[in-house]
Structures are given as C-alpha cells and as structure tokens.
Amino acid sequence: MLVYQDKLSGDELLSDSFPYKELFEGVLWEVEGKWVIQGALEVDIGANPSAEGGEDEGVDDQTVKVVDIVDTFRLQEQPPFDKKTFVGWVKKYIKNLTPKLDDEAAAIFKKNVEPATKFLMSKLSDLQFFVGESMHDDAATVFAYYKEGAADPTFLYFAHGLREVKC
C-alpha cells in the first residue's frame, strides 16, 4: 500500500486505495470521495423478544455519516478562503514547496501551477478547505467541492506537495 504524505508537514493526506485523475500536467490530482456510514448498525435477525415474553432491548444506534477521505486521513476542515487569503496562501505554499522539488519537477510545477491556481480560484466559493491532522500553518491544503449534480465530494490535491511512502 502507498500512502501520500504532505512534504511540508508529514501528514498523511491520501493513499493508493483512492484512485486519482491528473489535471494540469499532473499539478493537481482529482480524487472522488464518498459519503459512508460509520458506527453500530442495527441488524434485524427476525426475532421479536416482546412477542416471546422478553424485553425489546433495541440497539443504541451510533451511526454517523462521514466522507471517507476526511475520516480516513483525519483531515481538519478550515474556514473558507476569500480571494486575497487564497492568493496569499498559494504564494507562500509555492515558495515553501519549490525548494523541496528536484529540478524537473520544479519546472513542471512552475509551468502549470498558474492555470491550476486559476482553476481553483474559479471554484473558490464552492470549495471546502482541509488540512492534515497536525494543522501545520505552512502545510498543504486539500480542496473539496461537489461537481454539478454529484452527491459525493471531489477532492483536489497539489500533487507535487505529496511524498509517496510505501507501507
């Protein structure tokens, strides 16, 4: 299994069990999330204790509906960015990430980060913002939005900010 960690914070943000699609020459990865139900589920085995003279104990139903990626990687939702905050974050992120890239990756990233950023800015009002478990200030931000008509969220990652770790 492969886990993808944020190069700046070390937080685990994704794994290979979630397939991705590359956008903007691989600068962004698009990953489909899913709403899942988690917790105790009541199972009906057909018995009726009250009809058989016993008490109907029931089950304390502790189910919760969560998004698989958010839950699995303990992503922490952040307040939304306005345009000014987003641009400031992107500039700082590029400045911090670029020295951690080899020359070839840095060239691809620099060439394609602008159209990827414009794409994100065009969706700014629809995006949810997440960071890794450590909530590190300079770390990667994971973006989520709902495609038109979709019931499940789509996540966007800056791929160059991820380090592949074999588990």
CATH number of the CATH domain containing 79: 2.170.150.10
> Is residue 115 one of the residues assigned to a domain?
yes
Please say if the pLDDT value at position 163 is more than 80: yes
Structurally, the chain folds into a number of domains equal to 1
> Is residue 108 one of the residues assigned to a domain?
yes
> Is residue 94 one of the residues assigned to a domain?
yes
Decide: helix, strand or coil at residue 36: strand
Please say if the pLDDT value at position 50 is more than 60: no
Q: What's the pTM?
A: 0.86
> Is residue 31 one of the residues assigned to a domain?
yes
How far from chain centre, in Å, is Cα 125?
17
Q: Tell me the residue range of the domain where 79 lies.
A: 2-36+69-166
> Is residue 19 one of the residues assigned to a domain?
yes
Q: Which of 163, 121, 166, 153 is nearest to 31 (CA)?
A: 153
Q: What is the pLDDT of residues 15-43, one digit of tens each?
A: 999 999 999 999 999 999 999 998 766 55
The amino acid occupying position 144 is A
Q: What is the pLDDT of residues 58-86, one digit of tens each?
A: 555 688 899 999 999 999 999 999 999 99
> Is residue 114 one of the residues assigned to a domain?
yes
Q: Quote the pLDDT of residue 62.
A: 80
Length of the chain: 167
> Is residue 134 one of the residues assigned to a domain?
yes
Instruction: Say which residue, 2 or 42, is predicted with more confidence.
Output: 2
Q: What is the pLDDT of residues 105-137, one digit of tens each?
A: 999 999 999 999 999 999 999 999 999 999 988
Residues 1, 146, 110, 77, Cα dihedral to 10°: -70
> Is residue 55 one of the residues assigned to a domain?
no
Half-sphere exposure of 163 (CA within 13 A, CB side): 15
